[in-house]
Structure 1
């Protein structure tokens, strides 16, 4: 079964169960949000990642602007070349209209989708999408335990390399599906790796990939006396 969703391209990856704060100020996305909020609940839109080299805006900034407010190139007549065709449905949990006409939103990732067809003919980008099923997969619980142990080691080494304290999660979820998405969101990986984790066919496949990535990243961190200062994207986990 397919459906049409308005799209909000971002330079980050949204996962099911994760919270996404958004500062909406560009005109086309104001229009998108106004149309959504004027319609029936639940208010949903699709978040898709922007391919490397096309956008550098972090969470909270929207396509078309950079952190300094400078205009960036649009997506052109063929969004499929600039955007990933795998994304996540975002459901608006709260929305506040600002005096300048923009919006401050809190949205939550719900389900993954694949884009069947982009449509750039309207005031904002839309797409025909098909939602993807969630499959746990074999030995997910065992894999989850291994990922949890390695993720804690990774957090400690990351904090040490950045000369900071570990302020991450004290308790991790037992559900292997939820754990797989949380680790994917909380790990410092490039967009391509995060997209591959989003697209994994099952929680087991995602956890297996995370084991390999965490081993690689942890080994690199162990050899570095310090890391360049970077502002890590923080996404709060929503267990509901």
Structure 2
């Protein structure tokens, strides 16, 4: 059943299990946080959807958004005298946007929670994803980088999201991983993407230092 939650369009794709820091300074998003802080702590949740066209800030703003995103829960908030906020949020699950509603300031959406099926031949897909992750990590080590993943989870759904969040990918690729019908499909697509990435890494003598995992990940 659809329910209404506030929406925070973002210029990146957030995956379930990730912990994200947000600096909130624009009026409409400050209004969103002001509203959420009137609610009991367990109810301080909103949806993050990636922007298809437009920008997070500025006069032109958001033109269109993707329909599949995540619901996040505020775990920490710091307010400043000028009205800005720093938030820490945990992505707790996928949502699908059925309809967007523009409020007085920030956007609301009618959303449905998405299930997390494992899919067909998921263990085979998980084994192949494990293997390509090890190969990817070997290539990163060659450039003195690391995927900053200590231990891979055994649950295939958690594994699919952790691997997806640990790789540097384009926004469309991350969105496709988020929208995958099940964990097996997500793991197979991750395997495909990493094979291409490894081939590219082996074709160049050096890579710039990058932060591979921009946000932390937790299955909780």
Q: TM-score, normalised by structure 2?
A: 0.92
Equivalent position SS for 1:227: coil
**Match runs of 1:58-97 below 5 Å:** 63-64=56-57, 71=58, 73-75=60-62, 79=63, 82-97=64-79
Total equivalences in the alignment: 219
- Counterpart in the other structure of 2:191: 211
Equivalent position SS for 1:23: strand
Q: Are the counterparts in 1 of residues 147 and 167 from structure 2 also a CA contact under 8 Å?
A: no
> What's the Cα RMSD here?
1.8
Tell me the distance in 1 between the aligned counterparts of 2:195 and 2:152. 19
Any unmatched runs of 5+ in structure 2?
Answer: none
- Counterpart in the other structure of 2:44: 43
Q: Are the counterparts in 2 of residues 6 and 124 from structure 1 also a CA contact under 8 Å?
A: yes
Counterparts in 2 of 1:208 and 1:167: CA distance versus 1, 3 Å: closer
Counterparts in 2 of 1:94 and 1:180: CA distance versus 1, 3 Å: same
Tell me the distance in 1 between the aligned counterparts of 2:201 and 2:114. 34
Q: Are the counterparts in 2 of residues 96 and 104 from structure 1 also a CA contact under 8 Å?
A: yes
Higher mean C-alpha deviation, range 21-30 or range 136-145: 136-145
- Counterpart in the other structure of 2:169: 189
**Match runs of 1:217-228 below 5 Å:** 217-228=197-208
Post-superposition offset of 1:155: 2.5
Pair 1:165-2:145 in alignment: yes
Higher mean C-alpha deviation, range 205-214 or range 94-103: 94-103
Tell me the distance in 2 between the aligned counterparts of 1:94 and 1:9. 20
Equivalent position SS for 1:130: strand
Post-superposition offset of 1:229: 5.4
Tell me the distance in 2 between the aligned counterparts of 1:110 and 1:216. 30
Tell me the distance in 1 between the aligned counterparts of 2:180 and 2:111. 17
Post-superposition offset of 1:196: 0.5
Deviation >4 Å, runs of 4+: 228-233
Tell me the distance in 1 between the aligned counterparts of 2:162 and 2:59. 31
Tell me the distance in 1 between the aligned counterparts of 2:7 and 2:141. 35
Higher mean C-alpha deviation, range 223-232 or range 126-135: 223-232
Counterparts in 2 of 1:233 and 1:8: CA distance versus 1, 3 Å: farther
- Counterpart in the other structure of 1:123: 105
Tell me the distance in 2 between the aligned counterparts of 1:127 and 1:144. 34
- Counterpart in the other structure of 1:31: 31
Q: Are the counterparts in 2 of residues 180 and 207 from structure 1 also a CA contact under 8 Å?
A: yes
Q: TM-score, normalised by structure 1?
A: 0.85
Post-superposition offset of 1:226: 2.0
**Which residue, out of 72, 86, 97, partners 1:104?**
86
Tell me the distance in 2 between the aligned counterparts of 1:2 and 1:46. 13
